[in-house]
Chains A and B, each alone.
Chain A
Amino acid sequence: MRVKHCIRPSAAGVGALAALVFLIGGAFEASASCGSASCFLVTGSEAGVQPKGKLVVDLRYMYVPSNAPDGGLSGRVAAVDQERRRVILDEHQEHRTITETTILDVNYGLTDRVTLELTVPYRKIKHSHVIEVGEANGGAGDFESFQDTGLGDVRLTGKYSVLPTLRSLLVFGLGVDLPTGDSHANNIERKLQEPTLQLGRRTWGTVASIYQSYEVIPHRLNQFASASYRHSFTGSNSYRFGDEYILTGGMNLKTLNVVTLTGQFNWRYIVHDEFAGDLRRSLFPGDAGFPGDPEVIDPVLKRRPVPNTGSTMLAFSPGVSIAVTERASVYFHAQVPIARDFNGGVQQEISFLGGLTMALN
């Protein structure tokens, strides 16, 4: 026998119908020096808490362009040579990154309080930059247009709702990132590409999150807020992606019967990445030996922060969700940067996200 259930329609209107949908503020991939990036807004579908036995599937697509700070080429930024264990200052000039991610997100209610979520990303990264500046091509460097496509790191999350009511929600989430994405792509010189441009992180990670929601005007106006923290462990390549903190606050307004508008502010802070290697500096015109091998600053192999990684960004994200059937809805969001600091690397521009959420039972 099929059980139909309505829970918290305002929240549900953002992502899924007939299901308890809360939005755990979860960023997916973070930006880094060579800059693959992602929207980090709350869509309402990536992290639903479902009633027992309920299965909800969400399919979404993210388009995230990132450009050098002033367009064109950036100033010279650091590079990581994984094979030779080097952090090389001033070795790159960034141009542009386009990250497209298609995500299959499945939520299943183990109990009325506990939901299991599986998130499977399929990523396409296009990045252009100038590498080996100060060394190759008379010191001008080699222009590289890099592209890779494939499965990213799969995430498994458990979510637990504390004292849910028809009007308010509090959900705790704990997730594990699995190293399923490929991390062995090569650059044009057939050397291992930088970790930040790989599809996967080559390591495990954890994500803790908390989500709160309140029906200010029942079935009309809904407020939500979330916080999340992501930690990646050091990979076998001695690279560790920086910890990521995300805060989100927003409102959903149900307008017509099937249309819900949403607006939210998102703040994200990412700590510098770390890499265990020696420290070098690419040469500049006027340096002895220019053009040539980078100059050694510190030959000791040790853990170092990677300059030009990490970022801070505040964005506003308007969105709309439309219920197309009783069991399915489509949604669209844009993420508009308000303030950002990407430490000289490529910086995220206006990004877009669209998706379809469907309850299967």
Chain B
Amino acid sequence: MRKLLFSVLLVVGVLGLLGMAARPPLVGGPAPEITLKNLQGQEVRLSDLRGKIVLLNFWATWCKPCKDEMPAMQASYDKLRDRGFVVLAVNELEDTEKVIEHMRSHGHTFPVVMDHDNVVANRYGVVGLPASFIVDRQGIVREQIMGSLLTENRITELVNRYGGPAPSAHR
């Protein structure tokens, strides 16, 4: 009887742990809303970018691979902005002043929002940096890229694949 009880408790415990650890897959579903302040203290919502193709990038200044891929993000932002492409860089757990200084010294101009409480990263299941997500014009998550894989070519390819015709083409 005791063995049976122990076995039941063990199974329930393991299933509970697995359940606790499970997160629904993001790719293919609507991107969880983001409401964070940018470096100027203004509130930015991901839903406000509906109609654009968004590269959502989670990063920190101490993360070298994050910094390594930022020039490609900046170049793509400059080159593809007219096609409705936008970068939204979500900084994790750092001081705003430090991030402002980093952006200034590296000459990056794409938008940055501050995830001071790690809430948005948790919502996206980010446990390592960098992590990137491609959100299409309908607000659907199309790609999830964990680790530093972003190059200018890769970003262009992703925009071509998921961007569809630029909004200007409809007009």
Interface 9-residue window, one of A38-46, A72-80, A161-169, A277-285: A161-169
Asked if B9 lies at the interface with its beta carbon under 8 angstroms from chain A, I say no
Cβ-defined contact, B21 with A113, below 8 A? yes
Question: Which residue in chain A gives the minimum CB-CB distance to B59?
Answer: A6
Q: Which of A112, A215, A326 touches B127 (beta carbons < 8 Å)? A: A112
Question: Which residue in chain A gives the minimum CB-CB distance to B94?
Answer: A218
**How many angstroms from the CA of A165 to the CA of B124 in the assembled complex?**
10
In the assembled complex, 27 residue pairs joining A and B whose CB atoms fall closer than 8 Å, in A order, are A3-B147, A3-B149, A4-B64, A4-B65, A4-B68, A4-B147, A5-B147, A6-B65, A6-B129, A7-B127, A7-B129, A9-B62, A18-B65, A51-B146, A51-B147, A160-B21, A163-B21, A165-B122, A166-B121, A166-B126, A166-B127, A166-B129, A167-B93, A218-B92, A218-B93, A218-B94, A219-B60
Asked if B66 lies at the interface with its beta carbon under 8 angstroms from chain A, I say yes
Binding site for B on A (CB under 8 A): 1, 3-7, 9, 18, 20, 51, 112-113, 160-167, 172, 215, 218-219, 326
| A1, A4, A7, A164 pick with most chain B CB within 10 angstroms | A4
Cβ-defined contact, B149 with A1, below 8 A? yes
**How many angstroms from the CA of A4 to the CA of B92 in the assembled complex?**
17
CB-CB under 8 A for A164 and B63, given A4-B147, A51-B146, A172-B17: no
Shortest C-beta distance, B13 to chain A (Å), equals 10
| A9, A164, A166 pick with most chain B CB within 10 angstroms | A166
Question: Which residue in chain B gives the minimum CB-CB distance to A113?
Answer: B21
Question: Which residue in chain A gives the minimum CB-CB distance to B151?
Answer: A1
Cβ-defined contact, B128 with A326, below 8 A? no
Residues of B within 8 A of A164 (CB): 127
* Interface bits B83-112 vs A (CB < 8 Å: 1, else 0): 000000000111000000000000000000
Residues of B within 8 A of A167 (CB): 93, 118
**How many angstroms from the CA of A30 to the CA of B148 in the assembled complex?**
42
| B20, B21, B64, B146 pick with most chain A CB within 10 angstroms | B21
Residues of A within 8 A of B147 (CB): 3-5, 51
CB-CB under 8 A for A219 and B93, given A3-B146, A3-B148: yes
Chain B's interface size range is: 20 to 34
Shortest C-beta distance, A31 to chain B (Å), equals 31
8 extra interchain contacts, Cβ-Cβ under 8 A, other than A167-B118, A172-B17? A1-B149, A5-B65, A5-B147, A6-B65, A6-B129, A9-B63, A165-B122, A166-B128
Closest 7 CB pairs of A and B: A3-B147, A4-B65, A218-B93, A7-B128, A6-B63, A5-B147, A164-B127
Residues of B within 8 A of A20 (CB): 127-128
Residues of B within 8 A of A113 (CB): 21
Residues of A within 8 A of B149 (CB): 1, 3
Chain B, 44-98, CB within 8 A of any chain A CB: 60, 62-66, 68, 92-94
Residues of B within 8 A of A219 (CB): 60, 62, 93-94
Shortest C-beta distance, B97 to chain A (Å), equals 15
